Amino acid sequence: NAGVMQNPRHLVRRRGQEARLRCSPMKGHSHVYWYRQLPEEGLKFMVYLQKENIIDESGMPKERFSAEFPKEGPSILRIQQVVRGDSAAYFCASSPPPDPGELFFGEGSRLTVL
């Protein structure tokens, strides 16, 4: 049973480019979370999604950031026109139905903006 898969593990972008981070939840899991982590800090909540629905996006910046969890395929966190301050590790977690309990995390995607 494969764990939560995130790709790419490392991504380098120049200012103004777009970053797309992918997350495939564990088989059978219907809840997906995205978190952002800066060095030496805890995890900051960004968004909570279920299949085809955004449940809570209160942690997402109003501009440039978007997330989706389509009926088929992985969840995508998209950052448009990246800036240096977007450099961070982005973690995805999934949880099984019916209600989220234990969060199973991927190994993260580390974004570096030059």
Partner 1 sequence: TQLLEQSPQFLSIQEGENLTVYCNSSSVFSSLQWYRQEPGEGPVLLVTVVTGGEVKKLKRLTFQFGDARKDSSLHITAAQPGDTGLYLCAGTRGGTYKYIFGTGTRLKVLA
Residues that bind partner 1 (CB under 8 A): 4, 31, 33, 35, 40-45, 48, 55-56, 58, 91, 93, 99-108
Q: Quote the least distance from Cβ 56 to partner 1, whole Å.
A: 5
Q: Quote the least distance from Cβ 50 to partner 1, whole Å.
A: 10
* Of 76 and 103, CB closest to partner 1: 103
How far apart, in Å, are the Cα atoms of 90 and each of 13, 69, 103?
14, 16, 15
Question: Helix (H, G, I), strand (E, B), or coil: what is residue 77?
Answer: strand
- Of the candidates 50, 34, 58, the one whose C-alpha atom is nearest the C-alpha of residue 98 is 50
- Two tokens, residue 51: 């299949």
Q: Quote the least distance from Cβ 16 to partner 1, whole Å.
A: 28
DSSP annotation of 85 reads: G
* Of 17 and 54, CB closest to partner 1: 54
Between CA 114 and CA 10, with CA 34 as vertex, the angle to 5 degrees is: 35
* Of 53 and 72, CB closest to partner 1: 53
Q: Quote the least distance from Cβ 15 to partner 1, whole Å.
A: 26
DSSP annotation of 103 reads: P
